[in-house]
Homo-oligomer: A and B are copies of this chain.
């Protein structure tokens, strides 16, 4: 099925999916890390994997929330019917993942604290939904205010 033939993702379902990513972001905050969470779902809403940024907890710069969720989902043959849900606009690294593996859709919790490359993948045909969620904005915004140096390190700025 091509992207244009798919039923658009329902907003209520998108918010339900975002709740899983927010729970991950909260878990990241609780363990002293950067509060960004993500989850990978099927378009029908089945959870495949979830995770959060692990830079602080594991001294691991490679584990962004999206790559953690992708890893947690394990091996798959392909991803066109998958949705990557993140509390934050995915950066170039994570959008590169989305492009390389052909993930069909992205749900963006917020793009106020940081604008990554979600418009780039949208231009490539990925279905992108921005939710502008207040809790996503508050969680990361508070962390950035408290630990700007960790945030800038994480995002390469």
Taken together, the copies of this chain in the complex come to: 2
Which of A63, A91, A97, A99 counts the most B-chain CB atoms under 10 A from its CB?
Answer: A97
Residues of B within 8 A of A59 (CB): 74-75
Is A7 in the interface zone, CB < 8 Å from B?
no
A102 to B92, CA, bound (A): 11
Is A118 in the interface zone, CB < 8 Å from B?
no
- Verify A79–B156 contact, CB threshold 8 A: yes
Question: How distant is A75 from chain B, measured CB to nearest CB, in Å?
Answer: 5
- Verify B78–A61 contact, CB threshold 8 A: no
Residues of B within 8 A of A60 (CB): 71
Question: How distant is A81 from chain B, measured CB to nearest CB, in Å?
Answer: 14
CB within 8 A of A99: which of B67, B74, B92?
B92
Q: List 19 A-B pairs, Cβ < 8 Å.
A: A55-B75, A59-B74, A60-B71, A61-B73, A61-B75, A61-B101, A62-B67, A62-B70, A62-B71, A67-B67, A92-B99, A92-B100, A93-B99, A93-B100, A93-B101, A94-B96, A96-B99, A96-B117, A102-B156
